[in-house]
Structure 1
Amino acid sequence: MNQPFEFLFRVRYSECDPQGVVFNARYGDYVDLALTEYMRAAMGGYNELVHMGFETQVVRLLTEWKTPARFDDVLKASVYPSHFGNTSFTLIFEFINAGTNVLVATAQATYVLVDAKEFTKQTIPAEIKSALQEGAVGKQINQAG
């Protein structure tokens, strides 16, 4: 298996709940951050997709939590392309505590490619499919500081 794309980031204080752990809803934000950086690594950024006349819309997001993350932890999000259909694609996200190497959470997100103006489903062009499947393999973006 090829090395996945990796995105490292630090948990901020405002992302934690009164229990002192990352609030569950923040993982949707983390998936979105990881997707944005994945797109940057794979095809130059989300704006490149928009420039081509497309956008993505989330149609399914499934998250499973394994252990809490806390303020100032560095999380490593590994992104794996999973499934590509005619108009949709699915990515798998693994969030690992970079300090302890413990799995924090997993997520599976399905996106539909849509026209950037009308927001109607579009067939995924071969060059976009190829970029999303292979363009970010083995790359890492580190925003953990």
Structure 2
Amino acid sequence: MSQAVFSASSRSSFRHVTRLRVRWLEVDMQNIVFNAHYLAWYDTAFSDYWRSLGLAYGDTMRRFGCDVYLKKATTEFHASAKLDDLVEVCLRCERIGNSSLLFTGAVFGGNQLLNSAELLYVYADPVQQRAMPVPEPLRDLYGTFESGVEMTHCRTGDWSTLSELARAVREPVFVQEQGFAPEEEYDGLDETALHAVVSNRIGMALATARLLPTLELEEEGRPLRIGRIGRVAVLQPLRGTGAGQLVMQALQQSARMRGDSHIQLGAQLSAAGFYRRLGYQPFGPVYEECGVPHQDMRLAL
């Protein structure tokens, strides 16, 4: 494997990038990254690659009754990363065999190539650990992603249309992860709300939220039409991928089109930073709901 193949200009040929900062534990006495950590970086990037496909790895493997194992790794060192460097770990699926996946990897520090690799993965039965064919839907996904196509899409609709998909997100997030009782999670408001669901290309739901009917208020002598968004949930493995932002944007657009002047929501304090990044501003005191601290937030449309 030659450095010519992995010139700095080839950085743009990778759609998937995982960005990391070199940590103290990753450098040796020469203040450069110990060689074994590059394989750990590629492993981290491979896990992130699944998120780029719009897939939760564990759920997907259970759905298809398989797992993926690294069979062979060939790597070449070109330059050194040092403590606190920001590096980009890039992956590209080059070839799909009957049961195998061949990935090209590269680590860049700025425009400098630090490391290049070929990584051969094999699909196998997780119990018998025997090779098995790459499931056809996943085979298609790799090629679709590498061709530059969007891997998720957002739908809006009523509860009768989207309840099954919305429950597939709200159940693991609110009931299993956060411990809310099912009778607290599901209420009559679902029937009157507009729902948004982000799904991947094989129909698995990743994120959801709901928009309640307009609330008309008067505040400081001016009329307000308030759209209220709630039950915002993203499956844990897909957080940080933009799925939550997609459902928020879809419902904000729907509220704008029906004439709402503002969006209001009660944010769990742990998620307040997410809403701030979308432009929401806090108002009023912090309060508890179902034992969880919340903060009301509002966005002018």
Matched, 1:103 2:113: yes
In the other structure, the counterpart of 1:130 is 140
Deviations 1:3-39 (A, max 9, x none): 5211111111101111110000111101100000001
Please state which structure has a larger fraction of its residues in helix. 2
Contact 1:39 1:132 in 2 (8 A): no
Partner Cα distance (2:147, 2:36) in 1: 28
> Post-superposition shift, 1:91?
0.6
Identity of aligned residues (%): 24
* Residues in 2 aligned to 1:79 and 1:72: alpha-carbon distance in whole angstroms: 22
* Shift of residue 41, structure 1, vs aligned partner: 1.3
Deviation at 1:2, TM superposition (A): 6.1
- Native 8 Å contact 1:49 1:55 kept in 2: no
Counterpart secondary structure, 1:135 = helix
Q: Distance in 2 between matches of 1:137 and 1:77?
A: 19
1:118 aligns with 2:128: yes
TM-score by length of 1: 0.86
CA contact (8 A) 2:14 2:92 kept: no
- Which whole-Å CA distance do the structure 2 matches of 1:35 and 1:61 have between them? 13
TM-score computed with the length of structure 2 as normaliser: 0.43
Deviation at 1:125, TM superposition (A): 1.5
Paired position in structure 1 for 2:62? 51
Hey, what's the Cα distance between the residues in 2 that align with 1:106 and 1:79? 10
How far apart, in 1, do the equivalents of 2:137 and 2:54 lie? 10
8 A Cα contact 1:43 1:135, kept in partner? no
Structure 2 equivalent of residue 66 of structure 1: 78
Equivalent in the alignment of 1:16: 27
Give, in angstroms, the shift of residue 94 of structure 1: 0.9
- Give the distance between the partners of 2:145 and 2:139, measured in 1 at CA: 9
Displacement after TM superposition at 1:132 (Å): 2.4
Aligned-residue Cα RMSD (Å) equals 2.2
Deviation at 1:136, TM superposition (A): 6.3
Q: Matches of 1:96 and 1:55 in 2, distance apart?
A: 29
For residue 43 of structure 2, what is the aligned residue in structure 1?
A: 32
Q: CA deviation at 1:76?
A: 0.7
Distance of 1:136 and 1:7 partners within structure 2: 15
Relative contact order, higher structure (CA 8 A, sep 6+): 1
Cα shift readout 1:84-143 (whole Å, capped 9, x = no counterpart): 100101111110003xx100001110000011222111101221112223336669x7xx
SS at match of 1:31: helix
Runs of at least 5 residues in structure 2 that lack an aligned partner in the other structure? 1-11, 151-240, 242-301
Counting matched residue pairs gives: 139
Q: How far apart, in 1, do the equivalents of 2:147 and 2:114 lie?
A: 22
Larger-Rg structure: 2
Q: Secondary structure at the match of 2:76?
A: strand
Q: Are the equivalent residues in 2 in contact too, given 1:6–1:79 (CA < 8 A)?
A: yes
> Structure 1 runs of 4+ off > 2 angstroms?
132-139
> What is the letter of the counterpart of residue 109 of structure 1?
L
What is the CA distance between 1:51 and its match in structure 2?
1.7
Contact 1:43-1:132 within 8 A present in 2 as well? no
